[in-house]
Chains A and B, each alone.
Chain A
Amino acid sequence: MNANSSIGLIFSLSIIALIFSSACVKPQEPPPRKETMAQPPPEPPPPPKPTEADLAPAKPEEARSALARIYQTAVTLDPNQNFITGDFNGDQSPDIALIVKPSESAMEDINSEVANWILGDPTKVVIMKKTGVHPPTAPVRIEKTDTLLAVIHGDGPEGWRDKDSMQTYLLRNAVGSEMKLQAAKDAARIYRNKPDFPRLNGDVIRQTFDGREGFLYWTGAKYKWWTHSENAVARSRKE
């Protein structure tokens, strides 16, 4: 067999092979693939609850330390060292509210749009129950003469004492007189028949502000001032 015949033979065999392979290999449909039932991962263990030590009243040095951790020197603790502890946002972790003064040299940082705290004015928060449309509020601006309430939300069982507890609200128009903690259930018991009694997520800070009794409470997003009628005042005093 000469070279030409070999080439011819191979070429012919190639053509035959091509015909056979085309006939044998059907265009493959993707095999039907069915999504399998996914298995949820195991539940994480429940978070530990605060101990008695975690719930103990704040000592002034602890309060100062918590304030410095978040605000550094931007605010200073009120000379009377007023602070209130409770669970204001209802997450089972102790929180603290402290009366503070802004540092004159830190006004720009305090009012920065990327500050590490959320500025608020509880008297300006509007909740429209039916429509859900909240009118835009002007940005809150802190003045150097303001007396402020700094609320530090706790994280975990140690609450506000935990070094990771950094979520904080800096509030103007939030410091009145006779400020004290009122447990959510007590506030609900006293005022629940009021038609505008709000949903309470946690404890409230009761006080007299601008001549009216009421309380500051956590809406889930902001701190809001709520005041009640004279009837309710009389009833609560009687109780």
Chain B
Amino acid sequence: MKRVKLVVLSLFAAALVLLPVLMAGSVEGQSIIEAPTGFDNETNGLTTQAEFDENLEVFAEIEEIDEGLGPTFNSPGCGECHANPVIGGISQITELRAGHFNGVNFIDHPGGSLVHSRATDAEIQEQVLDGNEVRAFRTSLNTLGDGFVEAIDSNDLAAIAAQQPFISGGHISGRFIQVPVLEAGGALRGGRFGWKNQHASLVSFSADAYLNEMGITSPLQPVENTSNGRFVGFGSGFDPVPEPEDDGEDIEIFAAFMRATKAPPRGTITSDANAGQSLFNAIGCAICHTPSFVTSPPGTVINQGEFTVPAALGNKRIRPFGDFLLHNVGTGDGIVQNGGQATRNEVRTPPLWGVRTRNRLMHDGESLTFNEAILRHAGEATFVINNYRGLSTTNKNRIIAFLKSL
């Protein structure tokens, strides 16, 4: 009896000694949990709800000319194009890009490949100039959940790119590109934002959009847009505000807003949708429309030292159904941005989360049904789409039911 007591007490003592050590270990290796989702204008926990609401208001604010809007631009506010079904989501609005292909290289339209559709003065309205036969529309992208996307380790994207040729019999080969992080002095990181993966950080993305979509310069993008190459900035008589028109604060707020958004939620998941997801995986769609990622652990320093992944964004499982890589699926728009000439006919795999909120599909919004959008995939996706063609009508409809649940 005494011996039993002795053993029990010894174990108790050992447990007391080891407990703090074990507890410390479990804090360090936080478990992976699902990222919060919702079309509800609520914070994902990165900021307080009050801060989120304030940031949302700035994101959705309509800018005026005396605040720097224009003189050439596409929209007076982020919320004009990122709005469905809540601020930060998608919209049917497209932007126009143009340029010239000389047989070897793509050459930007005078003033840049983005041809703005609005101007503060009719005299400087941009037009597509003769000789710029490459013309493309691109739909507005979703930004909800982009904080989690930013927190994906670039090495995970590169690993998917390296793996794809092996799991697709050499048919599929996503391109991983490194692009400048503007707030890190142009140091490179794996691109993941924009139709051409032209940005790797949400601050860079915000600065780019503030200038290129709204015509508002900032310390990260200090040079004003032109009108077909003609200078229309401060001093030209068309722009009353000197550069930089924003001191950088708005850029940070936009990034803070996007980082605090929840990921797009699933819709109603029927038995057909579940069956469709199995088919989606089985025929190879998931090779590029990657079902899930786990974000970097909290405390990871990303964006070349400019951002540390916070607890609200780290170690989260997200389900974007996209690999954030560039592919040639026969729909490429002929435009080159940050990825070099080889990316001319490549576009980023669009993450399919929230795709049920769209009724104009593909990068140009030209496909009005899921079946047509699927059939438009060619190039690298040919063998996958041929698998789809081989399905029965019932199974095709199950895949479409799955897509409509995303």
Tell me the A residues contacting B by CB distance below 8 Å. Answer: 3, 6-7, 10-11, 13-14, 17-18, 21-22, 25, 27-41, 43-44, 89, 91, 112-118, 129-134, 136-137, 153, 155, 164-167, 188, 198-201, 219-222
Contact = CB atoms under 8 A, between A and B. Distances in A.
A165 B330 CA distance: 13
A30 B297 contact: yes
Interface string B146-163: 000000011101100110
Contacts of A136: 368
Interface in B126-146: 128, 133-137
Interface of B: 2, 5-6, 9-10, 12-13, 16-17, 20-21, 24-25, 27-28, 92-96, 117, 128, 133-137, 153-155, 157-158, 161-162, 165, 170, 173, 175-178, 188-190, 296-302, 305, 330-331, 333-334, 342, 345, 360, 362, 364-369, 371-372, 375-376, 378-379, 382-383, 385-386, 389, 393, 396-397, 400
A47 to B, nearest CB: 10
B153 A35 contact: yes
A115 to B, nearest CB: 7
A136 B361 CA distance: 13
B366 A221 contact: yes
Contacts of A222: 366
A10 B299 contact: no
Contacts of A36: 155
Given A7-B9, A34-B301, A40-B177, A118 B20 contact: no
Contact of B331 (A32, A131, A155, A220): A220
B117 A131 contact: yes
Contacts of B6: 3, 6-7, 10
A91 B178 contact: no
Which of A116, A117, A219 has the most C-beta atoms of chain B within 10 angstroms of its own C-beta? Answer: A116
Contact of B375 (A38, A134, A167, A199): A167
A198 B135 CA distance: 9
Given A28-B24, A34-B300, A44-B165, 8 more contacts: A11-B9, A40-B161, A41-B161, A41-B162, A115-B371, A129-B96, A129-B135, A164-B386
Contacts of A17: 13, 16-17
Given A35-B155, A114-B393, A164-B382, A130 B117 contact: yes
Contact of A18 (B17, B28, B153, B364): B17
Given A28-B24, A38-B176, A38-B190, A167 B136 contact: no
Nearest to B163: A41
Contacts of B297: 30, 33
A153 B329 CA distance: 13
Contacts of B305: 34
Contacts of A35: 153-155, 189, 296, 300-302
Nearest to B164: A41
A3 B9 CA distance: 12
A220 B117 contact: no
A118 B246 CA distance: 47
A30 B28 contact: yes
B10 A10 contact: yes
Given A30-B298, A33-B299, A155-B382, A221 B371 contact: no
A25 B299 contact: no
Contacts of B176: 38, 40-41
Nearest to B388: A116
B21 A21 contact: yes
Contacts of A13: 13
A196 B305 CA distance: 49
A134 B93 CA distance: 11
B400 A114 contact: yes
Contacts of B296: 33, 35
